[in-house]
C-alpha cells in the first residue's frame, strides 16, 4: 500500500478553479531579476503547506489568496512531486495538474 502525503493549499472556491492551479510562471512570466535562487526555483511550482494551520496562517495574512483551505492526499509514486522550500511547512508541488486535481480530498471553510 502506497504512503499518502497530505498537503494544504489556499483557494477561493471549492473545488478550486482552473486558474488556481497556475504557477507564478504562468501568472506573471519570469521571476524578478533580483529574486533569490530559492524563489526562482519555486516560481514554476504550486505552493502548498504540510499542515492546515500553516495554510490558514498565510490565508489570514494574505486574504487576497482566498478564504478556503483545501487538502490534497497525494500517494507516493504519483505524477506529482513535492519539495520542501521557502520556510517552515512550505512545499513546492510539481507535476501533472490533471492528475493533481484528482487528489483533492477535503475543504475547510473557516479561515
Report in angstroms the alpha-carbon separations of 45 from 1, 22, 68: 27, 8, 20
What pLDDT, in 10s, does the model give residues 61-72? 988 889 999 999
Q: Pairing state of beta strands 80-84 and 104-108?
A: unpaired
pLDDT given for residue 83 in this prediction:
94
* Region 29-58 average pLDDT: 93
pLDDT given for residue 89 in this prediction:
95
Amino acid at each position: 500500500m502506497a504512503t499518502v502525503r497530505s498537503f494544504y493549499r489556499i483557494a477561493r472556491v471549492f473545488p478550486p478553479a482552473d486558474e488556481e492551479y497556475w504557477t507564478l510562471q504562468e501568472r506573471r512570466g519570469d521571476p524578478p531579476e533580483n529574486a533569490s535562487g530559492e524563489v526562482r526555483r519555486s516560481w514554476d511550482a504550486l505552493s502548498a503547506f504540510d499542515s492546515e494551520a500553516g495554510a490558514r496562517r498565510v490565508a489570514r495574512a494574505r486574504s487576497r489568496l482566498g478564504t478556503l483551505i483545501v487538502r490534497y492526499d497525494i500517494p507516493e509514486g504519483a505524477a506529482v512531486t513535492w519539495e520542501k522550500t521557502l520556510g517552515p511547512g512550505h512545499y513546492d508541488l510539481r507535476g501533472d495538474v490533471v492528475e493533481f486535481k484528482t487528489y483533492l480530498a477535503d475543504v475547510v471553510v473557516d479561515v
